[in-house]
Protein backbone atom coordinates (compact mmCIF):
# COMPACT_ATOMS: atom_id res chain seq x y z
CA UNK A 1 0.00 0.00 0.00
CA UNK A 2 0.81 3.68 0.22
CA UNK A 3 2.79 4.86 3.22
CA UNK A 4 3.59 8.34 4.46
CA UNK A 5 6.02 9.80 6.96
CA UNK A 6 6.06 11.30 9.44
CA UNK A 7 2.63 10.74 10.95
CA UNK A 8 2.58 14.06 12.75
CA UNK A 9 4.84 17.05 12.97
CA UNK A 10 4.81 20.52 14.39
CA UNK A 11 6.57 23.43 12.73
CA UNK A 12 6.89 27.14 13.33
CA UNK A 13 5.64 29.78 10.93
CA UNK A 14 8.33 30.64 8.38
CA UNK A 15 10.03 27.25 8.55
CA UNK A 16 10.28 24.68 5.76
CA UNK A 17 8.95 21.12 5.85
CA UNK A 18 9.37 17.96 3.78
CA UNK A 19 6.75 15.23 3.78
CA UNK A 20 7.42 11.82 2.30
CA UNK A 21 5.35 9.23 0.52
CA UNK A 22 6.00 5.73 -0.73
CA UNK A 23 3.69 4.76 -3.58
CA UNK A 24 2.11 1.41 -4.24
CA UNK A 25 4.56 -0.74 -6.19
CA UNK A 26 4.21 -0.32 -9.95
CA UNK A 27 2.32 2.96 -9.81
CA UNK A 28 3.78 5.74 -11.93
CA UNK A 29 1.71 8.68 -10.70
CA UNK A 30 1.54 10.37 -7.32
CA UNK A 31 -0.84 13.11 -6.28
CA UNK A 32 -0.80 15.25 -3.16
CA UNK A 33 -3.85 16.68 -1.43
CA UNK A 34 -4.30 19.09 1.45
CA UNK A 35 -7.20 18.47 3.82
CA UNK A 36 -7.92 21.31 6.21
CA UNK A 37 -9.92 20.52 9.31
CA UNK A 38 -13.57 19.92 8.49
CA UNK A 39 -13.08 20.14 4.74
CA UNK A 40 -12.65 17.85 1.79
CA UNK A 41 -9.18 17.22 0.34
CA UNK A 42 -7.90 19.83 -2.10
CA UNK A 43 -5.62 18.85 -4.99
CA UNK A 44 -2.12 20.33 -4.69
CA UNK A 45 -0.28 18.75 -7.62
CA UNK A 46 0.49 15.53 -9.39
CA UNK A 47 3.72 13.95 -10.60
CA UNK A 48 3.97 11.51 -13.47
CA UNK A 49 7.29 9.87 -14.28
CA UNK A 50 9.12 12.46 -12.16
CA UNK A 51 7.58 15.50 -13.89
CA UNK A 52 4.85 17.77 -12.53
CA UNK A 53 1.65 16.89 -14.36
CA UNK A 54 -0.88 19.38 -13.09
CA UNK A 55 -1.24 21.74 -10.17
CA UNK A 56 -4.15 23.00 -8.17
CA UNK A 57 -4.60 26.48 -6.75
CA UNK A 58 -1.51 26.42 -4.53
CA UNK A 59 1.41 28.88 -4.54
CA UNK A 60 4.93 27.99 -5.75
CA UNK A 61 6.18 27.56 -2.18
CA UNK A 62 4.49 24.15 -2.43
CA UNK A 63 6.78 21.96 -4.49
CA UNK A 64 7.38 18.29 -5.02
CA UNK A 65 9.67 15.60 -6.24
CA UNK A 66 9.06 12.09 -7.51
CA UNK A 67 11.86 9.54 -7.53
CA UNK A 68 12.28 6.40 -9.65
CA UNK A 69 12.01 4.16 -6.60
CA UNK A 70 8.28 4.78 -5.97
CA UNK A 71 8.98 7.50 -3.41
CA UNK A 72 8.03 11.16 -3.52
CA UNK A 73 8.22 14.33 -1.45
CA UNK A 74 6.10 17.36 -0.80
CA UNK A 75 8.06 20.45 0.25
CA UNK A 76 6.50 23.55 1.72
CA UNK A 77 8.58 26.68 2.24
CA UNK A 78 7.83 29.71 4.39
CA UNK A 79 5.14 27.93 6.36
CA UNK A 80 2.00 29.85 7.23
CA UNK A 81 -0.56 29.12 9.93
CA UNK A 82 -3.11 28.18 7.25
CA UNK A 83 -0.83 25.38 6.08
CA UNK A 84 -1.91 23.41 9.13
CA UNK A 85 -3.73 20.41 7.66
CA UNK A 86 -3.66 16.72 6.89
CA UNK A 87 -1.54 16.08 3.81
CA UNK A 88 -2.54 13.04 1.80
CA UNK A 89 -0.53 11.27 -0.82
CA UNK A 90 -2.26 9.11 -3.43
CA UNK A 91 -0.68 6.86 -6.00
CA UNK A 92 -2.19 5.59 -9.22
CA UNK A 93 -1.35 3.98 -12.52
CA UNK A 94 -1.77 6.29 -15.48
CA UNK A 95 -2.96 4.97 -18.79
CA UNK A 96 -6.66 4.39 -18.45
CA UNK A 97 -9.62 6.74 -18.82
CA UNK A 98 -9.51 7.61 -15.14
CA UNK A 99 -7.02 7.34 -12.34
CA UNK A 100 -8.02 5.08 -9.46
CA UNK A 101 -6.14 6.61 -6.60
CA UNK A 102 -4.94 4.80 -3.51
CA UNK A 103 -4.43 7.01 -0.50
CA UNK A 104 -1.92 6.86 2.30
CA UNK A 105 -2.81 7.55 5.94
CA UNK A 106 -1.65 11.15 5.74
CA UNK A 107 0.72 13.44 7.61
CA UNK A 108 -0.81 15.84 10.12
CA UNK A 109 1.09 19.15 9.97
CA UNK A 110 0.58 21.76 12.66
CA UNK A 111 2.08 25.22 12.15
CA UNK A 112 2.37 27.41 15.23
CA UNK B 1 -14.90 22.41 -14.37
CA UNK B 2 -16.27 19.42 -12.52
CA UNK B 3 -17.55 19.77 -8.98
CA UNK B 4 -19.56 17.88 -6.41
CA UNK B 5 -21.91 19.05 -3.70
CA UNK B 6 -22.72 16.96 -0.67
CA UNK B 7 -26.02 17.84 0.95
CA UNK B 8 -25.86 17.66 4.72
CA UNK B 9 -22.57 17.99 6.55
CA UNK B 10 -23.88 15.77 9.36
CA UNK B 11 -26.24 12.80 9.14
CA UNK B 12 -27.37 10.82 12.17
CA UNK B 13 -29.13 7.45 11.97
CA UNK B 14 -30.01 4.67 14.37
CA UNK B 15 -28.28 1.33 14.15
CA UNK B 16 -30.18 -0.82 11.67
CA UNK B 17 -31.73 2.15 9.87
CA UNK B 18 -31.25 3.13 6.24
CA UNK B 19 -28.22 5.26 5.45
CA UNK B 20 -28.62 7.86 2.68
CA UNK B 21 -25.81 10.29 1.90
CA UNK B 22 -26.46 12.72 -0.90
CA UNK B 23 -24.11 13.85 -3.64
CA UNK B 24 -24.81 15.95 -6.71
CA UNK B 25 -22.24 16.59 -9.39
CA UNK B 26 -21.60 19.11 -12.09
CA UNK B 27 -19.70 17.97 -15.14
CA UNK B 28 -19.55 18.93 -18.78
CA UNK B 29 -18.43 15.43 -19.75
CA UNK B 30 -19.53 11.96 -18.65
CA UNK B 31 -18.23 11.84 -15.08
CA UNK B 32 -16.25 9.28 -13.21
CA UNK B 33 -17.60 9.37 -9.66
CA UNK B 34 -16.28 7.98 -6.39
CA UNK B 35 -17.26 7.61 -2.77
CA UNK B 36 -14.51 7.49 -0.15
CA UNK B 37 -14.72 6.88 3.59
CA UNK B 38 -12.38 8.36 6.17
CA UNK B 39 -12.18 7.00 9.68
CA UNK B 40 -10.71 9.21 12.42
CA UNK B 41 -7.01 9.89 11.99
CA UNK B 42 -6.83 7.79 8.84
CA UNK B 43 -6.55 8.30 5.11
CA UNK B 44 -9.24 7.76 2.51
CA UNK B 45 -10.56 4.35 1.58
CA UNK B 46 -12.41 3.80 -1.68
CA UNK B 47 -15.97 2.54 -1.11
CA UNK B 48 -17.13 2.37 -4.71
CA UNK B 49 -16.82 3.99 -8.11
CA UNK B 50 -18.91 4.67 -11.17
CA UNK B 51 -17.11 4.73 -14.49
CA UNK B 52 -19.33 3.37 -17.25
CA UNK B 53 -21.98 0.71 -17.62
CA UNK B 54 -24.36 -0.26 -14.85
CA UNK B 55 -25.71 2.74 -13.03
CA UNK B 56 -26.20 0.89 -9.74
CA UNK B 57 -22.78 0.35 -8.26
CA UNK B 58 -22.05 -1.94 -5.33
CA UNK B 59 -19.13 -1.31 -3.04
CA UNK B 60 -17.55 -2.60 0.09
CA UNK B 61 -19.20 -2.94 3.51
CA UNK B 62 -22.70 -3.23 2.00
CA UNK B 63 -22.76 0.25 0.45
CA UNK B 64 -24.12 1.02 -2.98
CA UNK B 65 -24.74 4.11 -5.08
CA UNK B 66 -26.87 4.88 -8.10
CA UNK B 67 -25.74 7.17 -10.89
CA UNK B 68 -28.69 9.24 -12.13
CA UNK B 69 -27.72 11.39 -15.07
CA UNK B 70 -31.08 13.15 -15.27
CA UNK B 71 -30.73 14.26 -11.65
CA UNK B 72 -26.93 14.69 -11.74
CA UNK B 73 -26.82 12.67 -8.55
CA UNK B 74 -24.74 9.86 -7.10
CA UNK B 75 -26.27 9.17 -3.68
CA UNK B 76 -24.74 6.60 -1.35
CA UNK B 77 -26.98 4.13 0.48
CA UNK B 78 -26.81 1.22 2.87
CA UNK B 79 -29.94 -0.67 3.93
CA UNK B 80 -28.94 -1.19 7.55
CA UNK B 81 -26.45 0.97 9.43
CA UNK B 82 -23.86 -0.56 11.71
CA UNK B 83 -21.97 1.17 14.47
CA UNK B 84 -18.75 0.64 12.53
CA UNK B 85 -20.11 2.81 9.69
CA UNK B 86 -19.60 5.96 11.77
CA UNK B 87 -17.06 7.97 9.77
CA UNK B 88 -16.76 10.82 7.31
CA UNK B 89 -17.80 10.18 3.73
CA UNK B 90 -16.59 12.05 0.68
CA UNK B 91 -18.01 12.12 -2.81
CA UNK B 92 -15.50 12.91 -5.55
CA UNK B 93 -15.40 13.40 -9.30
CA UNK B 94 -12.44 12.69 -11.53
CA UNK B 95 -11.40 16.01 -13.07
CA UNK B 96 -8.85 14.81 -15.57
CA UNK B 97 -6.57 12.60 -13.47
CA UNK B 98 -7.21 14.57 -10.28
CA UNK B 99 -10.05 14.20 -7.83
CA UNK B 100 -12.35 17.03 -6.84
CA UNK B 101 -13.97 16.29 -3.50
CA UNK B 102 -17.10 17.45 -1.80
CA UNK B 103 -17.00 18.93 1.69
CA UNK B 104 -17.85 15.61 3.29
CA UNK B 105 -20.69 14.20 5.37
CA UNK B 106 -20.09 13.06 8.92
CA UNK B 107 -22.19 9.97 9.63
CA UNK B 108 -23.15 9.23 13.23
CA UNK B 109 -24.75 5.90 14.11
CA UNK B 110 -26.72 5.81 17.35
CA UNK B 111 -27.25 2.57 19.30
Choose among B15, B43, B8: nearest CA to B111. B15
From first to last of the 111 residues of chain B, give the pLDDT tens digit. 789 999 999 999 999 999 999 999 998 788 899 999 999 888 899 999 998 888 899 999 999 999 999 999 999 999 999 999 999 999 999 887 789 999 999 999 999
A-chain residue closest to B44, CA distance = A103
Residue B81's pLDDT is what?
97
Three-state DSSP state, B36: strand
pLDDT band at A62 (very low <50, low <70, confident <90, very high): very high
For residue A40, give the nearest of B45, B51, B101 by CB distance. Answer: B101
| Interfacial A residues in 49-78 facing B (CB < 8 Å) | 53-54, 56
Three-state DSSP state, B83: helix
> In angstroms, rounded to a whole number, what is the distance separating the alpha carbons of residues B41 and B21?
21
Q: Are B73 and B58 in contact (CB under 8 A)?
A: no
Choose among B24, B28, B66, B29: nearest CA to B48. B66
> In angstroms, rounded to a whole number, what is the distance separating the alpha carbons of residues B72 and A110?
37
Q: Is A99 on the interface with B (CB under 8 A)?
A: yes
Q: What is the arithmetic mean of pLDDT over A18-30?
A: 92
Residue B28's pLDDT is what?
79
Burial A13-28 (b: 16+ CB within 10 A, else e): eeeebebbbbbbeebb
Query: What sign results for the dihedral spanned by CA atoms A81, B94, B98, B43?
Result: positive
Amino acid sequence: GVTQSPTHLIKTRGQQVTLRCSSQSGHNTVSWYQQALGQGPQFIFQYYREEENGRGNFPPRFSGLQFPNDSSELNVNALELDDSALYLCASSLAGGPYYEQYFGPGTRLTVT
Amino acid sequence: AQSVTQLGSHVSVSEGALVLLRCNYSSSVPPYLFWYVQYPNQGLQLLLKYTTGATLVKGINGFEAEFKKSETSFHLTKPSAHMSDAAEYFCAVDSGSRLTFGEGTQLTVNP
